[in-house]
Amino acid sequence: MTTPLPIALVQTSARHHAADDVDAFARDARRVRAAHPAVRLLAYPELHLCGHRPSEDPERVMTEAAQPLDGARGARLAALARELDVWLIPGTVYERGADGRVYNTAPVYSPAGELVAAYRKIFPWRPHETTAAGADFVVFDLPGHGRVGLTICYDAWFPEVTRHLAWQGADLVLNLVRTPTADRVQEVVLARANAIVNQVFMASLNAAAPDGVGRSLVVDPEGRVRAETGPGTEEVLTDVVDLAEARRVRARGTAGLTRVWDPFEDGAPPLELPLYAGRIEPGRWRRGAGVGGEAARGVIE
């Protein structure tokens, strides 16, 4: 049995604080927590703590803000999660990896103040983004609720990313976004499409103006928009999601009909995938093949 999960997605901008100002971030997180005391998962947009302003050199900001996840910033964010007693996803940060490269990384802190997962953006928006690309699909478990997968902004345009997270057992995929451009219209469509073709909850959290154009939304596993915000404004999008619904949809089918995780007959031959120089093995296609086995949970270097 699972219990419903109250979430708060903070569609906001970084205009209220300087880059990497954890004190100002903590004040805002406390404000949201006080206004929504039932919330268990609290999330912010991409690069909320580390994004450059229009007048700033993004390379300089990236270099100066990059820290190891176990550095001073990470310790303070972990302490904040413990103080607020929430699962805290503070947006994404510039991470200085052990290899010396800088990654755009979404860390996840538990209510106990532990870093339980960290996802590095696999598809930076080239050529504009110069962070190193990640290589791991990351999910983490919320005991009593279900499993959550992480993507960052442009990742949503690549169906392979959400498909892998769903195969690893994600019931909810959280896409952290910083889109100030006209293609947010397409991203809203992609949030629904990724939910439909993978039978997962999708939560797409964009920044508010001037960092983004808003239009954050939560989509259920059958593609219905459950909640959404306006364009550009600062808002807190709240919802209470029963992540078990994703598992029910997969078992019973979308609209009681379509079961996308069960398309192969027993003994079906492999399907060659020329694009990937690989194949789909029917026995590995089923969602359960990745749960508790090959799932990359909370990858942290």
Geometric angle at alpha carbon 118, from 114 and 122, rounded to 5°: 175
Phi/psi class of residue 144: alpha, beta or left (left: φ > 0; alpha: ψ in -120 to 50)? left
Torsion angle, alpha carbons of 42, 45, 46, 49, to 10: -80
Rounded to an integer, the average pLDDT of 161-171 is 96
- In this predicted structure, the answer to whether residue 292 has a pLDDT above a threshold of 60 is no
**17 pLDDT band (50/70/90 cuts)?**
low
| Integer Rg of the chain from CA | 19
Q: What is the pLDDT of residue 203?
A: 98
End-to-end CA separation in angstroms for the chain: 33
Domains defined along the chain, listed by start: 5-294 (3.60.110.10)
φ/ψ of residue 132, rounded to 5: -70, 150
- In this predicted structure, the answer to whether residue 285 has a pLDDT above a threshold of 90 is no
| Tens digits of residue pLDDT in 109-146 | 999 999 999 999 999 999 999 999 999 999 999 999 99
Geometric angle at alpha carbon 249, from 246 and 252, rounded to 5°: 150
Q: What is the pLDDT of residue 195?
A: 98
Q: How many residues are present in the chain?
A: 301
Secondary structure tally for the chain: helices H, strands E: 7, 15
E strand or H helix at 249: helix 244-252
Rounded to an integer, the average pLDDT of 17-30 is 85
**In whole angstroms, what is the distance from residue 61 CA to residue 21 CA?**
13
DSSP string, 273-292: EGGGTEEE-HHHHSGGGIII
Cβ neighbours of residue 229 closer than 8 Å, sequence gap 6 or more: 11, 214, 215, 216, 217, 235, 237
**In whole angstroms, what is the distance from residue 293 CA to residue 42 CA?**
28
210 preceded by a cis bond (ω within 30 of 0)? yes
Rounded to an integer, the average pLDDT of 35-39 is 98
Determine what percent of the chain is predicted with pLDDT higher than 90.
82
Q: What is the pLDDT of residue 58?
A: 79
| Tens digits of residue pLDDT in 167-226 | 999 999 999 999 999 999 999 999 999 999 999 999 999 999 999 999 999 999 999 999
